[in-house]
Structure 1
């Protein structure tokens, strides 16, 4: 009862505006807390790899199969994303993914770009380029596209033009299987 008495002593305009002000403050706080993308940490590549990734970032498409580009925050030339939920995330310049070492993790070769792949454990897939001077990794979550590999062809032209192959080797043979 004591708090009710204190509230009643306040002028009427203050009593009427207090609940909306508190609600607005809570909403602003939640928006601030949720504004970042803690699950997308940009890689920190070495200088030469960073140049390749910056060139790639400038060439990546604004739209992938009807999904607009909406990059994670903080903005970085080493991360890109398309759609909002579920979103496809591309990173450039990270370390070689562990799954690239497994022979059974060989993925598709699309437009002369070879990919390693692995399941993400939630119905989606991880893809990473092979035989290039910078690793490009793409996470395609479950439900983002009808076929999990569909978005890869949207990135191949940018990858081929921005990131050279290792020692000038041809990437078109997809890890030597001739496909």
Structure 2
């Protein structure tokens, strides 16, 4: 049936139909693949919310060549860079339980900011600031960077400028 319909079309249309269909499918797949997934924004305390809003304004537009593409719903408490995989920052989270074990065991210090660290469950890592007035969590997925700790150095200046030391 399809062959009968196509044979009745003019030759240029028959020749262009398969590439047009392939292009349309490619566009749909690319749009679905690069669309940022939803990220539930944290609900920080009023004091932490002020720090997080200041951090949101101070965050860089790019992290190691990955452009900032914030997740939905839009929130001053979340930010993301890259598309697939993407690095996600959430500010004003509750203190994560993986800091309870031994917060200094695997805790890198990057540019004067101390981070607790834990697995994200998918081969990547979660980093959370410690000893700051608001907890900032950075989810670095597997394969986003050659070294999982690389993006932290791009974010520490904004963190130290907007979120003071202390508990």
TM-score (norm 2): 0.76
Partner secondary structure for residue 158 of structure 1: helix
Q: Does 1:160 align with 2:165?
A: no
Q: Is the 8 Å Cα contact of residues 72 and 79 (structure 1) preserved in structure 2? A: yes
Query: In the alignment, which residue of structure 2 is the partner of 1:76?
Result: 75
Q: Is the 8 Å Cα contact of residues 100 and 106 (structure 1) preserved in structure 2? A: no
Deviation of 1:36 after TM superposition, in Å, equals 7.1
Equivalent runs, 1:1-179 vs 2, <5 Å: 37-38=37-38, 40-103=39-102, 105-166=105-166
- Structure 2, unmatched stretches of 5+, are 1-27
Deviation of 1:107 after TM superposition, in Å, equals 1.7
Query: In the alignment, which residue of structure 2 is the partner of 1:174?
Result: none
Q: Is the 8 Å Cα contact of residues 89 and 138 (structure 2) preserved in structure 1? A: yes
Where does structure 1 differ by over 6 angstroms across 4 or more consecutive aligned residues? none
Structure (1 or 2) with the larger CA radius of gyration: 1
- Structure 1, unmatched stretches of 5+, are 1-27, 168-179
Query: In the alignment, which residue of structure 2 is the partner of 1:171?
Result: none
Relative to structure 1, the CA distance from residue 150 to residue 36 in structure 2 (aligned partners, 3 Å threshold; closer, same or farther) is closer
Q: How many residues align?
A: 138
Relative to structure 1, the CA distance from residue 36 to residue 109 in structure 2 (aligned partners, 3 Å threshold; closer, same or farther) is closer
Superposed CA RMSD in Å reads 2.2
